[in-house]
């Protein structure tokens, strides 16, 4: 009864990166507890080979359940049914909005203990202990579960993806009864999200823009610089400018956006609010351009440039182009 059920989010024929990390983490922890990690996918026409591929990340078995793609409550139904019949001690989720929603919903359904934004989990005395940074990441709290099932929801990118499992896992289709709540929401339309192609999590170099850019068109300065860097570089943003509609949400960094750790993070016109800092503070090198010498971002930058970004960014772009020939 030391098995762990891991939710694997999938779309467009691929498993979400955070879910792959969660499956890898679940497999490692289950081994330490003397149990198994099982993954569960919920969706329409789930490809068998996609489900089986989770064996490569350590899942001993993969459960699949038919349900509408993109809604949280049917996943809660399916996971509650699996836990009810499968004897799981923990349910594990990678970071991401659907994981937060399903994890919280599952906790409410089962009356289970839940902790989210978890960055580390360890096995101790046959139980799991989860660590969660609190108070703006200045302190760590440790969490143990007293409920029959403990629900662990990771922070984005907290769990490392480890490929090294036994190969294809056995896949078992499960059925579940849809709860009345599940019928209360339905997807009406589905379309492409503006900026869906923005991949800031995989980039080595990020040029991030904030309100100091002045207007949406100001992002061209960032795009030009990222293009001059070339290779694995992308443009990111603060919540202030995403809320203003200057840049798509897919590029937002911070507490309510993505967590990134590129080799170079160049912040232009960003004040360095704590909610932004928590999403980028692990970057290898942080360079900030701000006209205010007292901007908080300089307190955690490796290199600070005090000045007007409208003058500095074009010069930087030209200098990089010239260097590259």
Which residues form the interface with ligand FAD (CB under 6 A)?
210-212, 238-241, 252-257, 269-271, 273, 275-276, 279, 289-292, 295, 308-310
The smaller minimum CB distance to ligand FAD, of residues 32 and 220, is found at: 220
Instruction: Answer for the pair 16, 95: CB distance below 8 angstroms, yes or no.
Output: no
Instruction: Answer for the pair 211, 240: CB distance below 8 angstroms, yes or no.
Output: yes
CB of 295 to ligand FAD, least distance (A): 4
The smaller minimum CB distance to ligand FAD, of residues 119 and 310, is found at: 310
Helix/strand/coil percent split, the chain, to 5:
35, 25, 40
- Cα 259 to Cα 262: distance, rounded to the nearest angstrom: 10
CB of 158 to ligand FAD, least distance (A): 16
Residue 304: phi, psi to the nearest 5? -115, 135
- Nearest-CB residue to ligand FAD? 254
The smaller minimum CB distance to ligand FAD, of residues 82 and 253, is found at: 253
CB of 126 to ligand FAD, least distance (A): 37
The smaller minimum CB distance to ligand FAD, of residues 38 and 239, is found at: 239
HSE-up of residue 144 (Cα within 13 Å, Cβ side):
6
Write the DSSP assignment of 212-253 as a string of letters. GG-SGGGHHHHHHHHHHH-SSEEEEE-HHHHHTTSS-GGGBB
Contacts of 2 (CB under 8 A, 6+ apart): 30, 33, 34, 35, 89, 126
The smaller minimum CB distance to ligand FAD, of residues 109 and 291, is found at: 291
Q: What angle do CA 164, 165, 167 make, to 5 degrees?
A: 115
The smaller minimum CB distance to ligand FAD, of residues 193 and 256, is found at: 256
CB of 38 to ligand FAD, least distance (A): 33
CB of 305 to ligand FAD, least distance (A): 9
CB of 30 to ligand FAD, least distance (A): 32
């Amino acid at each position: 009864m030391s098995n762990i059920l891991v939710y694997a989010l999938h779309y467009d024929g691929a498993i979400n990166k955070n879910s792959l990390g969660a499956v890898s983490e679940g497999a490692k922890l289950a081994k330490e507890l003397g149990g198994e990690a099982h993954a569960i996918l919920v969706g329409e026409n789930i490809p068998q080979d996609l489900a089986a591929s989770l064996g490569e990340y350590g899942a001993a078995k993969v459960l699949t359940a038919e349900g509408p793609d993109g809604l949280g409550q049917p996943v809660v139904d399916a996971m509650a049914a699996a836990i009810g019949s499968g004897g799981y001690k923990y349910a594990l989720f990678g970071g991401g909005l659907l994981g937060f929603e399903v994890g919280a919903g599952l906790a409410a359904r089962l009356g289970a203990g839940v902790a989210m934004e978890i960055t580390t989990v360890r096995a101790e005395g046959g139980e799991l202990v989860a660590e969660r940074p609190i108070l703006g990441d200045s302190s760590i709290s440790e969490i143990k579960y007293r409920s029959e099932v403990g629900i662990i929801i990771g922070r984005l990118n907290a769990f490392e993806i480890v490929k090294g499992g036994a190969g294809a896992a056995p896949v078992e289709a499960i059925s579940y009864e849809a709860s009345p709540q599940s019928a209360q929401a339905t997807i009406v339309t589905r379309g492409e999200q503006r900026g869906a192609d923005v991949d800031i999590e995989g980039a080595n170099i990020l040029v991030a823009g904030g309100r100091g850019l002045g207007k949406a068109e100001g992002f061209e300065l960032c795009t030009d610089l990222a293009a001059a860097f070339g290779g694995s570089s992308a443009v990111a943003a603060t919540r202030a400018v995403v809320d203003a509609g200057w840049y798509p949400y897919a590029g937002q960094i911070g507490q309510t956006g993505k967590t990134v750790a590129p080799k170079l993070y160049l912040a232009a016109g960003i004040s360095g609010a704590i909610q932004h800092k928590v999403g980028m503070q692990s970057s290898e090198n942080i360079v900030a351009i701000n006209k205010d010498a007292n901007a908080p971002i300089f307190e955690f930058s490796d290199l600070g440039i005090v000045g007007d970004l409208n003058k500095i960014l074009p010069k930087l772009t030209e200098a990089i182009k010239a260097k590259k020939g």
